[in-house]
Amino acid sequence: MQHADISLTNCATSAADLTGPCDTLSLVLGDQLNASHSWFNHIDPKRVIVLMEVRQETDYVRHHQQKLLAFFAAMRAFATALAKVGHQVLYLRLDSDHNQQCLTSNLKQLGSALQVQQIHLQQPDEYRVDQQLQQFASSSDIAVQWFDSEHFLTERDTLQRWFPQAKSYLMEYFYRRVRKQTGYLMTAEGQPIGGQWNFDKDNRNKLPKQLDIPAPLLFSNDLTELADLLQNHQVEHLGNVDAARFLWPVNRAQARQLLGFFVTELLPDFGRYQDAMTERGWSLFHARLSFALNSKILSPREVVEAAINAWQQHPERIDMAQIEGFVRQIIGWREFVRAMYWQHMPTYRSMNYFEHQRPLPEFYWHGNTKMRCLQHSIQQSLDYAYAHHIQRLMITGNFALLAGVHPDAVDEWYLGIYIDALEWVELPNTRGMSQFADGGLLATKPYISSGAYIHKMSDYCGSCHYNVQQKTGPQACPFNSLYWHFIDQHFERLKHNPRMALITKQWQQRSDADRNSLLEQARDYLTRLDQL
């Protein structure tokens, strides 16, 4: 198994350590670790590539410590790899005496100290960093040149260019256009292989009790030095970690190894059980490539092409529903949420369609709740900085929406706790898809459910303190009454949504006594959320 080299071999750690002249300073952000970028096609002895560990990025939200360790370790491994092939690399450690702990302050200081003639920047993917660097560029005395990150399949403004008259956007049409553009899973005649675009209906199975779940591929990176660094500098964090045996991939060799494991061992059952939840495992058949993708260690093209190649070589093991479901996540959903982010920022992060105001229940930070589905999903998140999309959407997100939690609090939690969480991907998935706080810009309906869906798709309910079959009473599943309370509270808005029409009609048809009983139960639970 590959191990990460985070020793910063051949890297300068201060401007005084640089050995040659510097005309150009090229900034690489922590989520721009793209070894295939055109910047690195040639060695320029007069260029310095700079990477920075800064408090600006550790402190804007309280992160899971595995997330902090993963980004710092990946940055160090990337810097070392660049230096080893001959690039002049300057790496500002968190504990450097000359580190201003701010991207632009460091750029200004380095630009002056090195007397550079130009600064090269790649377009950031987070709005706040983009605005910060744009302001720096507009006021800098040094010429600034911008470059694409050379990672995504579509541009930031793709929605505006592709659908200029649209008032709302459907991922399905966006996805089909990307399929046509790339040729992935398309016939020579320009038709979808398999005769249809989307096989999602074939990918909603509960995990059979007899099915063997493959053991996940884990790494064993010794990141105790980095963990000590964070501890010594009192960087606030959450979650748990074994820093001596860090399990996530933090360099390209490890990321490619994880990709190979996925397409060989997991892809044959990926789509079939992608919505399943169980206490029997935390990784299941999921790829867990999102950190490597979002830090740009891996590209979406190589990930998709590796999966398609495995499907083409082994069609007897990997059916169309499995490969299409995976490809759709990478070239459809991932690209779409990025496009939605840039289409609607900065107003998107302040949307609160349902005007929810409650704080996030305290158990989101420690997992101590009697609701087994939430306890397991939250504890898993604290232990691994990871939960798969249905745990995020239909357990933690579903409960927060039913409980009326303010979207800002939900965003902060999701952005901090998950190793793959960067705002461009977290915000649309949380505020839009999970909380419907954008009023339907991203999703066509609120993704809410009672306990019945959780019982159908998981084995959580069998070991829960609460009874999923009960709607009222001291052991009634909280999801049941909170679900109908949500419908009642937002009835006027929901009744106009075609996908909610059946549910709102069912609520109208209930007896007054039934409705009052459910609402009384929900109000009781809402007054003591932290004790549930």
Residue 396 belongs to domain with CATH number? 1.10.579.10
3-state SS track over 306-330 = HHHHHHHHCCCCCCHHHHHHHHHHH
Is residue 183 assigned to a domain? yes
Q: Domain count for the chain, please give it.
A: 3
What are the tokens at 118?
A: 């130009």
**CATH number for position 110:** 3.40.50.620
Is residue 353 assigned to a domain? no
Q: What is the CA radius of gyration of the chain?
A: 24
Dist CA 354 CA 436 (whole Å)? 8
What pLDDT shows up at residue 203?
74
The answer on 177 and 87 residing in a single domain is no
**DSSP state, 221?**
B
The answer on 175 and 97 residing in a single domain is no
**DSSP state, 76?**
H
The answer on 410 and 329 residing in a single domain is no
Is residue 349 assigned to a domain? no
Cis omega (within 30 of 0) for bond into 346: yes
Structural domain span for residue 517: 363-531
Count the residues in the chain: 532
Is residue 37 assigned to a domain? yes
Is residue 112 assigned to a domain? yes
The predicted-structure confidence for 484-508, as pLDDT tens digits, reads as follows: 999 999 999 999 999 998 999 999 9
- 267 with 311: CB under 8 angstroms? yes
The answer on 177 and 325 residing in a single domain is yes
The predicted-structure confidence for 370-424, as pLDDT tens digits, reads as follows: 999 999 999 999 999 999 999 999 999 999 999 999 999 999 999 999 999 999 9
What are the tokens at 286?
A: 């999921």
The answer on 373 and 294 residing in a single domain is no
The answer on 142 and 162 residing in a single domain is no
The answer on 185 and 140 residing in a single domain is no
The predicted-structure confidence for 250-273, as pLDDT tens digits, reads as follows: 999 999 999 999 999 999 999 899
- 416 with 118: CB under 8 angstroms? no
The answer on 391 and 452 residing in a single domain is yes
Assess whether pLDDT exceeds 60 at residue 2. no
The answer on 320 and 440 residing in a single domain is no
Q: Where are the alpha helices (DSSP H) in 40-145?
A: 55-59, 65-84, 103-114, 127-139
**CATH number for position 286:** 1.25.40.80
Cross-strand partners of 192: 186
Assess whether pLDDT exceeds 70 at residue 3. no
Dist CA 530 CA 36 (whole Å)? 48
The answer on 182 and 86 residing in a single domain is no
**DSSP state, 439?**
S
